[in-house]
Chains A and B, each alone.
Chain A
């Protein structure tokens, strides 16, 4: 019975690891996408500024 309990616990731990790994993957993806959005906005802002300078 002890062995059973031990195996169940092991499985639960494995599941937990899998869930946590999935979460990190997602947040990693989220981060890269957000970083790209920042760059995107940076470029857009630069262009806007240039335009404004030309108008001045």
Chain B
């Protein structure tokens, strides 16, 4: 008898009930996710007869668990015996689709649609469409919202008369009295339109669209922009003129009193322009575009600014230059920084459309003005997209007009402005190339190293490191290192100090050769500098160099080593030799210095390094 008991206890549904009673939500969630095991153990027949009815009426749980259940049921077709029995899954999902929590409902609708794909036409008519209709006619609006999502998938499989019913019923949802339902109906109308033939769109969908487009809630009206786009995409372009209603609706959307609706229109402008025919574009959309560029709400202007290159691409150059350009030029001095920033990202996209001459005469002045913008994002966006302009007008012309602006900013009285432009230098260098940089910008970068403000000098050394990353080590040894060496011989001790900082920062991006041939001799000289400040900074730099040399392989730089992620590259024995023969003697000398700070930092550099070395050996063994 004991075997019998045992089997009872292990009866699949009993196990499931047990697990669903657990206190821990995580465990209940897990039970739901493993529902397929239960179904598998039961076999398809008993799953249909016992498990599904059980789930149908006895599950009450947290939304999280119900969401999981809705998701699982979508994949359950194989466990109930294949598509011919899939309709038994509809009942529990129907319950879940009526629940208050939107997440659960959305999942249930998703699963229902998934199952519907696998149903046969007869099943769709017999089970699925009645379900859709039931939900559409429910008292509570949550069911109706779910129902709006259940029209598109069955429609394809339904017979002509059933399709008729579905359309009528959907019409009722569009005319529902709660805005929540109308919103979802508007959302789904756009998808629905793609499934029905053109004649039906014209006869039935356009009236629905008109109804929604004249809704008194702006949250409903703004969703009709998508509907309009899909209607316009479906109707052939040559037939569009005969549907004056669409145009009227479009015009009223452009001039809607709610800015959220206008924002939506602005945001989809390119899509709208692509869907309607050319006559409408030139006659209606161009004035509308200009008007949106001058909209009273900054959000709308931001949205329309992002459509500039896409829309202008569809126009001929005449219209673009005569009617739109001036409005775009006005945006450069827009009071909102977000509008200017959005314009900054898009403006360079106009260069290929305008061609060389127009870019020079129209775009460049705008660029130059935006480069001087006080908002950093605007400048950054302009600089980061220079490549596009470069391709059109060529590096020479670009540098002719751009360089004065950059130089002017680089020598600005305000140190914050100088700092801002330094941050963009690596980006500029990457886009404009090594040659341009060497000729025009390198002296600027070196000039910053001698700036009166510490932050500028610091940023300039960081900048050197980034430039080395962009242009490579060889370039660094040719362009940077000599300049740094000259600086170490300057009268003013602050320059010599900058040398120490530069060495510290550059250490990870240079090779062993450069350290041995250029850096160490220079440091040798600085060890006996008359100013204590320099001497203890030399000690600090030595600490960094020691650390670098310990890990540096004979070829390449430390940064390359870290990026490649390989740990097997052996540190070069030459590096250790350099530490012992060239650095350590100098550090010992500094440890005997008169100045207390110099002695301290020298001891740290020498002492700290020996313990670190010992540890490394320990772990190595």
Contacts and interface: CB of A to CB of B under 8 A. Distances in A.
Interface in B18-60: 19, 22, 24, 26-27, 30-31, 34, 37-38, 40-43
B41 A40 contact: yes
Contact of B41 (A29, A33, A41): A41
Interface in A18-49: 25-26, 29-30, 33-34, 36-37, 39-41, 43-44
A40 B15 CA distance: 9
B30 A40 contact: no
A48 B19 CA distance: 25
Contacts of B40: 41, 44
B24 A29 contact: yes
Contacts of B38: 37, 40
B245 interface: no
A30 B30 CA distance: 8
Contacts of B31: 33
B22 A41 contact: no
Contacts, number: 40
A29 B12 contact: no
B41 A30 contact: no
A27 to B, nearest CB: 9
A29 B29 CA distance: 12
* Of listed A25, A33, A36, residue having the most chain B CB within 10 A: A33
Contacts of A44: 12, 40-43
B205 to A, nearest CB: 50
B10 interface: yes
B7 interface: yes
A55 to B, nearest CB: 15
B15 A36 contact: yes
Given A30-B30, A33-B19, A33-B31, A40 B12 contact: yes
B41 A43 contact: yes
B26 A26 contact: yes
Given A40-B10, A40-B37, A44-B41, A29 B15 contact: no
A41 B19 CA distance: 16
Nearest to B7: A43
A33 B10 CA distance: 11
Interface of B is mostly: helix
Size bin of chain A's contact surface: 10 to 19
Contacts of B41: 40-41, 43-44
Contact of B10 (A25, A26, A43): A43
B27 A30 contact: yes
A26 B22 CA distance: 11
A10 B7 CA distance: 49
Interface in B343-386: none
A43 to B, nearest CB: 6
A34 B7 CA distance: 17
Contacts of B10: 36, 39-40, 43
Contacts of B43: 44
B37 A29 contact: no
A44 B15 CA distance: 14
A22 to B, nearest CB: 9
B573 to A, nearest CB: 45
A29 B22 contact: yes
B65 to A, nearest CB: 14
Given A40-B10, A44-B40, A44-B41, A25 B34 contact: no
A25 B43 CA distance: 32
Given A40-B12, A44-B43, A26 B27 contact: yes
A50 B531 CA distance: 95
Contacts of B15: 36-37, 40
A17 to B, nearest CB: 18
Nearest to A41: B41
Nearest to A29: B27
B295 to A, nearest CB: 52
A37 B34 contact: yes
A41 B38 CA distance: 8
B30 A33 contact: yes
B383 to A, nearest CB: 46
B24 A25 contact: yes
A41 B40 CA distance: 8
A43 B26 CA distance: 26
Contacts of B27: 26, 29-30, 33
A37 B31 CA distance: 10
A41 B24 contact: no
Interface string B445-473: 00000000000000000000000000000
Given A26-B26, A29-B27, A30-B27, A41 B7 contact: no
Contacts of A34: 34
Interface in B221-277: none
Nearest to A34: B34
A26 B26 CA distance: 7
A41 B10 CA distance: 10
A43 B22 CA distance: 24
A34 B27 CA distance: 10
B61 to A, nearest CB: 16
Contact of B24 (A26, A39, A40, A43): A26
A37 B37 contact: yes
A44 B38 CA distance: 10
A5 B19 CA distance: 43
* Of listed B24, B30, B37, residue having the most chain A CB within 10 A: B37
Interface of B: 7, 10, 12, 15, 19, 22, 24, 26-27, 30-31, 34, 37-38, 40-43
8 contacts: A26-B24, A29-B27, A30-B26, A30-B30, A36-B10, A37-B37, A40-B12, A44-B40
Given A33-B31, A37-B37, 11 more contacts: A26-B24, A26-B26, A26-B27, A29-B27, A36-B15, A37-B15, A39-B10, A41-B37, A41-B41, A43-B41, A44-B42
Q: A-B pairs with the 3 shortest C-beta distances?
A: A44-B41, A40-B41, A29-B27
